[in-house]
Chain A
């Protein structure tokens, strides 16, 4: 029983986090905050894995979370590098300013 409650709580928390992150991605124009929001969404997904692993008593969930961490680190490093280039070229961090097509 208690496990189901943990599960539900965990899933609700994850959903809230995911929704917050999504909102951040869609609503913020500053690209740093967009990147941060993506991190939040990633962690929401990771939380679901951990909660599910706890529910069925298996280590797979936590293993997946470590994968996600590693991937997030890689993603952030690439993202930050792109961000630097973007700032270098556009002199702004506004994501919409990068909407110009054709180079």
Chain B
């Protein structure tokens, strides 16, 4: 069965090809069958492969499938080959399963849209690229998937291309992630130049052999890969593209934010974790960037009006948690949070999509309210997602995954109090903004009425994701609560086990209780500020410092302004000034010269025979003179 591993990325690609070629001929039903079916089959194949892999895990911890040699140039022979270990297995399952649910949802969500076939073609390509990324055996194939994901995000964010604002958002996403990609490809060059291979396992082995901990090359390589991951995962300082990526349809946001794209950076760092352990400074930077990002994005989420932008900032913030976990060496905690986040964030985006469609494309939360009774199914599922996001203690998946991260940010040898404080503060802000969103959208008085409710194909994925947002947490329980280690046991076959300081495990219960209280406190405060006594929130937002902070936060801490002023504008100015640039003068000069010569020569062609004769005579005299006198 594992021999059929290649089918998993191949099926979405095949779906893309069919839709790209025959998308205009097929009926909507046909398009949905191909688009959803390809990812569905891929998902089934992934589960079959997973069952087989876990069953035979005793024999080896990985499975490599070589398909063909990509190219062979002077000792550089990257292969198209797939690598399956516990890490890529988890990623593969998340991508295909969540991707499948999102596809199913989109088949109804996009039904009225004229670009139905185009939409599913892009979506399939997206999932296929992401699968190529996570299953890649060498960094070059990973980079191919990486770029494919970037391309698809561009295509999908700008899916409704008739509005120029969407096109701008798409270009922004593409260009900002490109900054990271450039760093990453330089990192790949560096690795290849020094270690002579891009095959990942080989690379890690050689790096550990040849580079000492903290050596310059290891730091440079890790730093370059980190910048690549920052761009893709929308972390500080390359996070600005993600809130604007909300321009795409809601399922696209779900796909970008939950199953694919933004998790690629986390995956890359986990995949090349050895490089990061060789470069402790860079790993510390990962943790610090994660901590900063989760705080900054959390604050921004607190002040947004657009429901999808709240979710966008919360994604940045949650990825910040994953980076924090990676930075303190809690590899499996990061992947665990990635998985639970994929479930509840996809759920929240899909739920928000239903809300937006039901209210006739209304994004503004201030115009929503009271939807609890009008959309009960969405309300309950959305509430579960929100609880999971704000880590409601003991029942939600988000609690367990976030709790591990918080624990390790303090208890790991690489962790410290500051990181932990940032994490806990972030958890508080998370539950505050999450329940602000819930209260504003679903509670209070109804400000607009529902036009149409969701159908079966939209409800079912949401319900499944809601169930997973709760159940998925129980595969990994802390020592004090049942001590189930299914997830980390699996992941530890691919990634080193998480270490913590001696004596830290006693504090685990205390820390957990603290995190739980903080999360509940956030929900309670949200209840007071945005439901019970909204005038408190209003008056807080209306005093001068409150207003300033609100504006500052809602504009994403001024990063957009900063980049606009110091990078985009000067560049556009330079490009505009340089439009008639001096290198063009060379070519213009050639044009002018030949045009002048042409004019002179055409003057000489007067049609006067006697002039021609004179010319011939003078020419003859000249030639003879030269022949005689020289």
Contacts and interface: CB of A to CB of B under 8 A. Distances in A.
Interface of A: 22, 25-26, 29, 34, 95-96, 98-101
Most chain A beta-carbon contacts within 10 A, residue among B605, B606, B613: B613
- Chief secondary structure at chain B's binding surface: helix
A95 B607 contact: no
Interface in B445-492: none
B588 interface: no
A99 B614 contact: no
Q: How large is the interface on B (under 10, 10 to 19, 20 to 34, 35 or more residues)?
A: under 10
Closest 6 CB pairs of A and B: A99-B607, A99-B608, A101-B607, A95-B609, A25-B613, A26-B614
Interface of B: 605-610, 613-614, 617
A26 B613 contact: yes
A98 B610 contact: no
Contact of B607 (A29, A34, A98): A98
B498 to A, nearest CB: 89
B617 A99 contact: no
Given A25-B610, A34-B610, A99-B606, 15 more contacts: A22-B617, A26-B614, A29-B610, A34-B609, A95-B608, A95-B609, A96-B608, A96-B609, A96-B610, A98-B609, A99-B607, A99-B609, A100-B607, A101-B605, A101-B607
- Chief secondary structure at chain A's binding surface: helix
A25 B606 CA distance: 17
B601 to A, nearest CB: 14
Contacts of A26: 610, 613-614, 617
Contacts of B606: 99
Contacts of A100: 607
A96 B606 CA distance: 10
Nearest to A100: B607
Nearest to B620: A22
B610 A95 contact: yes
A86 to B, nearest CB: 11
A26 B608 CA distance: 11
Contacts of A25: 610, 613
A6 to B, nearest CB: 23
A98 B610 CA distance: 11
Nearest to A29: B610
B301 to A, nearest CB: 76
A89 to B, nearest CB: 14
12 contacts: A22-B617, A26-B614, A95-B610, A96-B608, A96-B609, A96-B610, A98-B607, A98-B609, A99-B606, A99-B607, A100-B607, A101-B605
A98 B609 CA distance: 8
B65 to A, nearest CB: 74
A22 B621 CA distance: 12
A25 to B, nearest CB: 5
Contacts of A101: 605, 607
A48 to B, nearest CB: 14
B614 to A, nearest CB: 6
